[in-house]
Amino acid sequence: EIMMTQSPATLSVSPGERATLSCRASQSVSSNLAWYQQKPGQPPRLLIYGASTRDTGIPARFSGSGSGTEFTLTISSLQSEDFAVYYCQQYNYWPPSTFGPGTKVDVK
Amino acid sequence: QVQLVQSGSELKKPGASVKVSCKTSGYTFSNYAMNWVRQAPGQGLEWMGWINTYTGNPTYALDFTGRFVFSLDTSVSTAYLQISSLKDEDTAVYYCARGQGPGLPAVLNDYWGQGTLVTVSS
């Protein structure tokens, strides 16, 4: 089973600032990595797949990069609606597909 | 538009069973996989497995073998999750999530149900 780790656990950012979230896989997952956003009381929302492709309707301020074992989600200028928990998921080797533990982005 | 609508919250006693439904609309049901994901209170996301909606063949993650059953009723475009012999630690929100079609990753989830809270308590 591939283990996913995310850092930091919590990221405190001011609105308008840039946020950089990291995700690491225990072995290479190529570019088969997705990012999801989850707000309290809501289901996750797919943001990025293929490590860098934004899903339909996702604002351009969200960008993903990386391949192999190291991945980054960048939010270029945080908006109020972006404060949430972000999860990465690998779908290169499954079953099982595995999620990271999440990074909470909160207001500084 | 694509929609996945899950059944309502459930309160069950230990040892009982529960069946969660996920009714879909806005797309051809049998063309896309269906995944199930668990989220315990205050915790992260845990992939439970998926079901091939064309063949009906389920695949379970190791932690979800035995008491968990995925099923379908294609006539009403609905997927089901049944959990038997419920334990306190099964208390969680359970999500259905649409996977991708043939030739694409079945476990990449683009649409999600709203979640069903299952509470197990005596």
- Cβ neighbours of B58 in A, within 8 Å: none
Q: How many CB atoms are located within 10 Å of the residue A8 CB? A: 12
pLDDT confidence bin for B103, thresholds 50/70/90: confident
Render pLDDT for B17-27 as a digit per residue (tens, 0 to 9): 999 999 999 99
- Mean residue pLDDT of chain B comes to 96
Is-contact A78 A18, C-beta < 8 A?
yes
Q: To which residue do tokens 């996913």 refer?
A: A4
CA distance B8 to B65: 24
Distance from CA of B10 to the nearest CA of A (A): 16
Query: Residue B120 pLDDT more than 90?
Result: yes
Which among B83, B89, B94, B91 has a CA at the least distance from the CA of B116? B94
**pLDDT for the residue B73:** 97
pLDDT confidence bin for B104, thresholds 50/70/90: confident
Q: What is the mean pLDDT of residues B94-101?
A: 94
**pLDDT for the residue B101:** 83
**pLDDT for the residue B84:** 98
Give one DSSP letter per residue of A39-105, joined into a string.
-TTS--EEEEETTTEEPTT--TTEEEEEETTEEEEEESS--GGG-SEEEEEE-SS-SSPEE---EEE
Q: What is the mean pLDDT of residues A73-96?
A: 96
Render pLDDT for B35-84 as a digit per residue (tens, 0 to 9): 999 999 999 999 999 999 999 999 999 999 999 999 999 999 999 999 99
User: Could you give the 3-state DSSP secondary structure of residue B110?
Assistant: coil
Q: What is the mean pLDDT of residues B94-122?
A: 94
Q: What is the mean pLDDT of residues A69-87?
A: 97
Nearest chain A residue to B116 by CA: give it. A43
Q: Is A55 exposed, middle or buried (0-12, 13-18, 19+ CB in 10 A)?
A: middle
User: With an 8 Å Cβ cutoff, are A98 and B47 in contact?
Assistant: yes
Structure tokens given for B46: 């845990």
- Cβ neighbours of B95 in A, within 8 Å: 43-44
Query: How is residue B66 annotated by DSSP?
Result: S
